[in-house]
Structure 1
């Protein structure tokens, strides 16, 4: 049985569907990346920073580097619990987000991922300091 990597994860549960399965008879690697994106957006909204705020502020936390570790296969019909945390922030330009996916039936960790994020001005794609809303909402959520 695997414990969570950090305390108090924001979680969502997904079921591996037939459409997620690849030629190797397990969930395709790209599907895990999509699940990471989905849970990251849900967590951000939970913290009070919806995609509409990104557009209104012309700011976004964009993925600069992504690292994924596929530890075990997820098979059709299995449920996975996805946990995510913001694990670092310099309160200026950069944040780090961690992901962990556990199979519900045995709590085994099947996947881990990390994103290094940088705040950008959406209209130019250039790095820019985090706006006050990001600091107010994301900083209290950092788990070290």
Structure 2
């Protein structure tokens, strides 16, 4: 597949009948849900679970999310969702990107981006990333170059 960045964390996805909206294609909200699932799965693969977030009283919260819906997808399409951490300041902020590719023709159907901020769960206020976050996330950051389009 022609990924925007090297070595994505990937999740296969197939739109089901319940994912299809009145325009007969995958509803945009489904893509947002899939991105959330991919973000959590990637965190877990890097060694940080929801339980760790609670124990550390910290979380990476979405400050801003944006999605470019490039092409429609339909029930039964075989899709692969890739995600990367592409930036992190080692203090409060990180950036996660997404690319959804249709297997049949290799077309990118969605690109997404999240700006993340570390928060203290008990207060909701921004707080520095704990060492466990730095250890898990910062080593996974891929260098940002202009994505191929």
Q: Do both share a fold (TM > 0.5)? A: yes
Structure 2 residue aligned with 1:38: 37
CA distance in 1, matches of 2:37, 2:91: 25
Q: Equivalences for 1:119-138 in 2 at 5 Å?
A: 119-138=118-137
Distance across 1 between alignment mates of 2:109 and 2:140:
24
Distance in 1, Cα, partners of 2:15 & 2:66: 22
Aligned to 2:109: 110
- Is 1:13 the equivalent of 2:12? yes
SS in 1 for 2:129: coil
**Counterpart residue number, 2:146:** none
1: CA distance, partners of 2:104 / 2:43: 27
Q: Distance in 2 between matches of 1:114 and 1:143?
A: 14
After TM superposition, the structure 1 = structure 2 runs for residues 37-76 of structure 1, keeping only pairs within 5 Å, are 37-76=36-75
Q: Which runs of 4+ in 1 moved over 4 A?
A: none
Structure 2 unaligned regions, length at least 5 = 144-149
Cα deviation for residue 38 of structure 1 reads 0.2
Superposed displacement of residue 3, structure 1:
1.3
Matches within 5 A, 1:67-106: 67-106=66-105
SS of match in other structure, 1:91? coil
CA distance in 1, matches of 2:9, 2:117: 21
CA distance in 1 between partners of 2:36 and 2:78 (Å)? 18
**Structure 1 unpaired stretches of 5+:** none
Residues in 2 aligned to 1:105 and 1:40: alpha-carbon distance in whole angstroms? 24
Structure 1 residue 90: deviation in Å?
Answer: 0.2
Q: How many residues align?
A: 143
Report the Cα distance in structure 2 between the residues aligned to 1:19 and 1:78, rounded to whole angstroms. Answer: 14
CA RMSD, 1 decimal: 0.7
